Chain A
């Protein structure tokens, strides 16, 4: 079957570091995406991992372990505007290429 598991909610303090974990089970795998979604807005692309290891992009980094079915998103130097929902989405292999979504993690950044 297919299953994505993320914490439902997290809280952190401005300026701190937070790690959002995601475990997944999919039938076939062709990369994993992280998206950010503010309430009432479109999900926006944050990162993509297809090989094991860490991908760093500014304040955001994403890690993937394919053998463990595990990824995390690391947010550094948190800002108030980082308060949003963070969605982990592995992608099917093959021609359909559709993304499988978790429920997302709602992150609240407090001053």
Chain B
């Protein structure tokens, strides 16, 4: 079974440019999460999709970040325009059943974003 895949694995862009990160969750997983880890700091929640709907986007830093999950399959996270403080590793995770108490998250390897 394929795991959670993220693309690209690395992205280096200049301040002011646009970058789009993609996440393909495990097939059949309704829950999809985006997390971010800035160097030296803890992993922070960004948002949570249940199928194509945003369940919780309280962690999105500002309106330069736009996440979509059209059709409830893969998700994209667009940063426009990128700023220096957006640099970090962006993780995507998926899980199967929201109602289960033991909801195990499966993580992708992350996208390392560097904004210069």
Q: Are A and B co-members of a single complex?
A: yes
**Residues of A participating in the B interface, judged by any CB pair closer than 8 Å:** 4, 30-31, 33, 35, 40-45, 48, 50, 87, 89, 95-104
Given known pairs A40-B109, A42-B91, A48-B102, the reply for A98 and B4 (CB within 8 Å) is no
Contact size class for B? 20 to 34
Who on chain B is nearest to A103 by CB? B42
With a cutoff of 8 Å between Cβ atoms, the chain A residues found around residue B98 in the complex are 97
The number of residue pairs between A and B whose CB atoms lie closer than 8 Å in the complex comes to 57
Tell me the bound Cα distance from A99 to B109 in angstroms. 17
Q: Which of A31, A41, A104 touches B102 (beta carbons < 8 Å)? A: A31
A96 near B56 (CB under 8 angstroms)?
A: yes
Q: Which of A44, A48, A104 touches B107 (beta carbons < 8 Å)? A: A44
Q: In the complex, how many angstroms separate the beta carbon of A35 from the nearest chain B beta carbon?
A: 8
Whether B88 sits at the interface, judged by CB under 8 Å, is: no
B105 near A45 (CB under 8 angstroms)?
A: yes
